[in-house]
């Protein structure tokens, strides 16, 4: 009720529905087709990870952007959630404006991954080694560099500032890399970068 009240006060936002568990969420999504889904990882019955995977496997639902709402900045489920299709994460005790921003950012097709989260996820994934990523060999050196920077959790503007180039230049290289790797969104690009070992500067 609190989340609904918060979101419906925002211009251009409407709460399309609520569900108590993953199975109910899937059924409701097929009816209302929301632009953004706020999803808890820990739910009764079908949990958040199973729900994410079911959405990824359903052609009718794949376009939905998903923000995982969690009680921890990083737990054992974060990378699995990224692989399953989550576009971002927000803490349950975040300030109201952070939740609203998460919805807007993810609705716009961006990823919501803080540098703190990506550093921990990279460390976690690093223990499992790298694996082949289809299309990685087609990236130019500059595109590989941008993918590595994206994996640090920085925005285009932050990357541009670090490299002393324009945000538009960063955006162009990132967009081309996403096309070549068939990345659904920026969050999936982060997953591909981690798989390929392109985890960026410290």
40-53, pLDDT tens digit by residue?
888 888 888 899 88
Under the banding of pLDDT at 50, 70 and 90, the label for residue 181 is very high
Residue at a domain's end among 112, 142, 173? 112
My answer on whether 108 and 148 are in the same domain is no
Query: Would you say residue 144 lies in a domain?
Result: yes
My answer on whether 7 and 91 are in the same domain is yes
Number of domains, the chain: 2
Cβ contacts of residue 49 below 8 Å, gap of 6+? 41, 77, 80, 81, 84
- β-strands 36-40, 88-91 pairing: unpaired
Query: Would you say residue 202 lies in a domain?
Result: no
Under the banding of pLDDT at 50, 70 and 90, the label for residue 84 is confident
Can you list the alpha helix ranges (DSSP code H) found in 43-185?
Answer: 48-57, 78-84, 96-107, 115-126, 141-150, 156-163, 167-181
Angle at 115 between CA 189 and CA 175, to 5 degrees: 30
Query: Would you say residue 35 lies in a domain?
Result: yes
Q: Give the bridge partners for 112, in sequence order.
A: 88
CATH number at residue 184: 1.10.10.10
| Contact (CB, 8 A) for 189 and 135 | no
| Contact (CB, 8 A) for 169 and 117 | no
Under the banding of pLDDT at 50, 70 and 90, the label for residue 8 is confident
Taking alpha carbons only, the member of 194, 195, 197, 151 closest to residue 174 is 151
Higher-confidence residue: 125 or 89? Answer: 89
Query: Would you say residue 120 lies in a domain?
Result: no
My answer on whether 16 and 64 are in the same domain is yes
For residue 143, pLDDT beyond 90: yes
Question: What's the whole-model pTM score?
Answer: 0.69
Query: Would you say residue 66 lies in a domain?
Result: yes
Under the banding of pLDDT at 50, 70 and 90, the label for residue 129 is low
My answer on whether 25 and 57 are in the same domain is yes
Under the banding of pLDDT at 50, 70 and 90, the label for residue 178 is very high
Q: Work out the widest C-alpha separation in the chain, in whole angstroms.
A: 49
Range of the domain at 184: 130-196
My answer on whether 62 and 93 are in the same domain is yes
């Amino acid at each position: 009720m609190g989340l609904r009240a918060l979101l419906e006060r925002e211009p251009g936002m409407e709460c399309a529905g609520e569900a108590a568990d993953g199975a109910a969420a899937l059924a409701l999504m097929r009816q209302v087709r929301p632009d953004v889904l706020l999803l808890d990882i820990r739910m009764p019955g079908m949990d958040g990870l199973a729900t994410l995977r079911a959405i990824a496997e359903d052609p009718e639902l794949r376009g939905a952007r998903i923000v995982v709402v969690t009680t921890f900045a990083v737990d054992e489920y974060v990378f699995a959630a990224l692989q399953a299709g989550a576009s971002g994460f927000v803490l349950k005790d975040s300030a109201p404006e952070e939740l609203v921003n998460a919805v807007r950012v993810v609705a716009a097709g961006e990823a919501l991954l803080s540098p703190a989260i990506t550093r921990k996820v990279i460390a976690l994934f690093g223990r499992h080694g790298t694996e082949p990523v289809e299309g990685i060999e087609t990236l130019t050196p500059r595109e590989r560099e941008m993918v590595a920077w994206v994996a640090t959790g920085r925005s285009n503007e932050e990357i541009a500032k670090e490299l002393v180039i324009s945000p538009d230049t960063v955006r162009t290289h990132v967009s081309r890399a996403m096309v070549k790797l068939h990345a659904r969104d920026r969050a999936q690009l982060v997953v591909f970068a981690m798989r390929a070992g392109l985890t960026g500067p410290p």
